[in-house]
Amino acid sequence: MDPTSNKLTMLLSAETLSPAERVAEAAAALGSLKADCRQRRRDRRYTGVVAGRRRPVGQLVKLPTGQVAKLLCAIRGKAFVTWQDEECIHPTQLATLNASDLVVVKNPAAVLLGSLKRGVKERPSLRKQRAARRNGDWRSRTNQRRKDPERSPSKLVEQVVL
């Protein structure tokens, strides 16, 4: 992994920081990730299965040797990965490994922030219910598929014309 994430791991596990400071550091670390590391779900390109789930291209994985690499492709139990090795003549290294030998690397900042959500239940409130009903009454945008055929735009136009 790169040195900044190692520093982040030490920072998040530091005993001198208060819990609030740890959360603030984790949020700042996640916010400063490069744009390609925080793609929206609909923009991700997925490849094959690693560690029991389909993984996006570029997912960080730990090799059996302990190095951290990016996943390029996984298909039929094989995974193609790349990593930087500055000691070699060609620093960009490529390898084909068994997908079962790889371990997915989790971002420690994301793990910390996600653990704060564990066990928290949403409180029911009348205000939220009213807002949800009000939002459901809005018409959908143009050229978007409607769920209710009774309220389709063509029928509304017919009603207005008649």
How deeply is 3 buried, as exposed, middle or buried, from its count of CB atoms within 10 A (0-12, 13-18, 19+)? Answer: exposed
Q: Containing domain of residue 98, as a range?
A: 3-117
In a domain, 42, yes or no: yes
pTM for the full model? 0.59
Residues 71-101 have pLDDT tens digits of 999 999 999 999 998 888 888 989 999 999 9
66 contacts: CB under 8 Å, gap ≥ 6: none
In a domain, 51, yes or no: yes
In a domain, 109, yes or no: yes
In a domain, 58, yes or no: yes
Higher pLDDT, 24 or 144: 24
In a domain, 160, yes or no: no
In a domain, 73, yes or no: yes
In a domain, 53, yes or no: yes
In a domain, 43, yes or no: yes
Instruction: Say yes or no to pLDDT of 121 above 80.
Output: yes
The structural domain count of the chain equals: 1
Quote the distance between the C-alpha of residue 145 and its chain's center: 27
H or E stretch at 134: helix 126-136
